[in-house]
Amino acid sequence: MSLELNKTFAAILTAGILAMGTGMLADMVVHPKALHENVYRVEGVAAAAPAGAAPAQPAAPALEPIGPLLANADLAAGEQVARRQCAACHTFDKGGRNQVGPNNWDIIGNKVAHAEGFNYSPALRTAATAGKVWGYEELNAFLANPRAALPGNRMSYAGLRSAQDRANLIAWLRRQADNPKPLP
Ligand code: HEC
């Protein structure tokens, strides 16, 4: 082999070894490993908690959309859920007072932090500034796990586990409005 060819060969070999080396080094530095949970998140379902915040409840499995359950929801059962689970803190009638929580008349499709004169947490005010509204699925996620859906909010409520209960409640909430929004 000519000297030139030898040099070229050596250069290619060196480049190869370097590439292998950096690959291994990169692995050592970056520690690639499988993700523990899906990175994909449904809008409004769960956002990462801000650094230093108390850990959210264990990540709930992805929520089924509530839309299909709403059409056959039981309004009377929904009203019962509201009385038992929400009425300690919320009124739902037109012009009702803010209590521990804001009045929730006409909440479906309304903007987040909608109630006049209620002292909302920065978490809700930030969401409001970002233009968030209480669509059916946003409300579904929030009621299932308030803390995970809107980290830092001040609603001391653990969440309503049963999708059927949420559907009944949301269908009833929809009726607490002059012009109920169309079902999804
Ligand atoms: C222990 C009191 C408490 C209970 C129980 C409670 N909430 Fe709340 N809720 C609050 C407070 C306080 C806020 C305001 C949170 C904030 O500003 O971070 C709130 C906020 C909300 C909002 C957002 C309103 C807006 O203007 O953006 C909705 C919707 C809501 N609650 C629905 C419900 C429903 C439905 C239930 C029953 C399943 C319920 N809440 C149970 C205290 C409560």
Q: Are 41 and 60 in contact (CB under 8 A)?
A: no
Nearby residues of 137 by Cβ (< 8 Å), 6 or more positions away = 42, 44, 45, 63, 65, 66, 67, 184
Q: How far apart are the CA of 182 and the centre of ligand 1, in A? A: 23
| Atom 33 (ligand 1) nearest CA | 86
Q: Determine whether the shortest distance from the Cβ of 46 to ligand 1 is under 6 A.
A: no
| Atom 39 (ligand 1) nearest CA | 86
**Ligand 1 atom at minimum distance from 150 CA:** 18
| pLDDT tens column, 50-91 | 555 555 555 556 899 999 999 999 999 999 999 999 999 999
Find, among 44, 59, 75, the residue nearest to 142 by Cα: 44
| pLDDT tens column, 94-146 | 999 999 999 999 999 999 999 999 999 999 999 999 999 999 999 999 999 99
